[in-house]
Structure 1
């Protein structure tokens, strides 16, 4: 029996949305009717394409294979229509998810080789780790940028690429920060703007304070690098932050950096999903970054 491509298209839509109810509403179908269409496709292929985890739909291994073929099939159909209508488009898309709290300067630096290309459109989304990894699992994003590796889940074939490591510094306004002042004295005398508890940087800072027998005054705890940058500029306290976050302020002299480093590093990761049909732009970007890191 030949494959029913209507069933395949319905599956394709649900797989990219990751939500049966939302897809049914978008396609103006009842949820039960959409479920029947997908069930018929599963019966034809002889494999379950989705599994439920709580209220969420996740692709099975067979589902990921089916989606890879569906992407190729419907992409070829779009190219056929575009070619025969004379409107062929050569632009390619790269969908990137990034933690809402991640440094914008770092994101731009990593994506710069792709952002400068006229034949590539970058779709950049931000969110929580759970939201981004869900988008990766449903193939709504091709790549996720994080400052911590994803949880080890044998059900989800994540590929985690370490793409950067940066020293964290103490920065503050010229009126507040004497650069040559010893680190312990700064911890004793100045209020601090810190990442929230649970982050790797905050854990390392707390361990440092303990070794120095200091209990710093905490002016603010934030998980958003843009907010940390703003609070440092407003002279709320000294900020524990990677210099790339406040590059413009350091260059202009609005903020300055302590001479003694806390010897804390922040690590950055690019997380992908093992796919049969990966986006070639992802591999190109990772290879470019690896080459530039090696040369530097």
Structure 2
């Protein structure tokens, strides 16, 4: 492989110019002469054999190669910042755990899993990001995240070198405000025709199983709303907008936090929770604590 001799100091100057929108402002930020910045970027362009900027009026615009280089530079210098933070935390004796949480995963589930990290002998600093499943996997593959908590495994055949670890599975229940749940609890599920429901969107792993269950029982619900974000779905449920599905293991939490009570059990619809990591065997002590809490029954159905 040809060695381009890329100088990462030059790449950093390019990154600052791109972020600041021009050489003059970048020079002010870095405390360097304009000519110095221009020379360094020219040397970078010579090293990679591509022009990164083109003149547009009095300013600079990124070329196609420049946009591609900026995307990689963003990742490189973000990781550099995380490295500095991690080294600082190493001196303080605190362990850092950077977690990606799928927007479809119930937030109560995520909390119950992560709660185990708060009781370790070595203090843990949690950094949590919420995003769509695919975006989180990409960040995990780039080592921006230590682990991803989600409701689905990684598809077989993916080119990403990441691994799925089943944490637990749970029956689901249908819940709602006391008035709404009480209206449909008698004769559940036969009386659910026309019942108002709040459902996850169709890209959610649970939605297909819910639709199959409706078909099995010949139920035609009145779908009031569909949500990608589970927390927003629960908020509408708390306001009495509709019934909704939830893990049976979280029944007590749902009653305490959302005032949601049981309308009926749905054992045929199973909720799955996975940890996705870069390793076949998880070694991070905080993630090991999560696994241990699951094995000890933190999600036992009440």
TM-score (norm 2): 0.66
Work out whether 1:155 is the aligned partner of 2:154. no
Aligned to 1:293: 294
1:183-222 matches, within 5 Å, as: 183-222=188-227
Q: Determine which of 119, 122, 126 is the counterpart of 2:126.
A: 122
Structure 2 match to 1:62: none
Per the alignment, do residues 91 and 254 of structure 1 end up closer, same or farther by CA in structure 2, a change over 3 Å counting?
closer
Counterpart of 1:272 in structure 2 is 277
Q: Distance in 1 between matches of 2:197 and 2:266?
A: 15
1:38 and 1:136 mapped to 2: Cα distance? 30
Q: Which runs of 5+ in 1 are unaligned?
A: 14-19, 41-51, 60-66
Secondary structure at 2:105 match in 1:
coil
Q: Does 1:97 align with 2:100?
A: yes
Comparing 201-210 and 111-120, the one that deviates more: 111-120
SS of residue paired to 1:131: helix
Identify the residue that residue 260 of structure 2 maps to in structure 1. Answer: 255
Contact 1:10 1:37 in 2 (8 A): no
- Decide which of 241, 244, 248 is 2:246's aligned counterpart: 241
Give the equivalent residue in structure 1 for 2:143.
139
Helix, strand or coil at the partner of 1:198: coil
Q: Aligned in 2, Cα 1:144/1:24: closer, same or farther, shift over 3 Å?
A: farther
* Contact map agreement 2:282 2:288 (CA 8 A) in 1: no
Q: CA 1:244 to 1:295, structure 2 compared with 1: closer, same or farther past 3 Å?
A: closer
Aligned mates of 1:142, 1:37 — CA distance in 2: 36
SS at match of 1:150: coil
Give the Cα–Cα distance (whole angstroms) in 2 for the partners of residues 123 and 114 of structure 1: 12
Offset at residue 218 of structure 1 (A): 1.0
Cα distance in 1 between the residues matched to 2:118 and 2:87? 24
CA RMSD of aligned residues (A): 4.3
- Deviations along 1:48-73, one digit per CA (max 9) or x if unpaired, are xxxx9x959999xxxxxxx9xx98xx
The number of equivalent residue pairs is 253
Alpha carbons 1:58, 1:137 under 8 Å: kept: no
Please give the residue correspondences for 1:20-169 in structure 2 after superposition, counting only pairs within 5 Å.
25=19, 88-117=91-120, 119-169=123-173
Shift in Å, 1:263: 2.3
Cα pair 1:103 1:245 within 8 Å, conserved: no
Q: Distance in 2 between matches of 1:155 and 1:259?
A: 41
CA distance in 2, matches of 1:37, 1:167: 61
Q: Point out where structure 2 has 5 or more consecutive residues left out of the alignment.
A: 21-25, 31-36, 50-64, 298-302
Distance in 2 (CA, whole Å) between partners of 1:10 and 1:122 is: 33
Which of residues 223, 230, 234 is equivalent to 1:225? 230
Match of 1:16?
none
The answer on whether the counterparts of 1:10 and 1:38 sit within 8 Å (CA) in structure 2 is no
Q: What is the distance in 2 between the residues matched to 1:137 and 1:33?
A: 32
Give the TM-score, by structure 1 length.
Answer: 0.67
**Alpha-carbon distance between aligned partners in 2 of 1:10 and 1:269, rounded to the nearest angstrom:** 41
Q: Distance in 1 between matches of 2:10 and 2:69?
A: 17
Equivalent position SS for 1:176: helix
Once the two structures are superposed, what CA deviation does each residue of 1:57-110 show, in whole Å capped at 9, x if it has no partner? 999xxxxxxx9xx98xx77x967xx99xxxx42222111111133222211211
Distance of aligned partners of 1:23 and 1:177 in 2 relative to their CA distance in 1, 3 Å threshold: farther
Give the 3 Å change call, closer, same or farther, for CA 38–294 of structure 1 in structure 2. Answer: farther
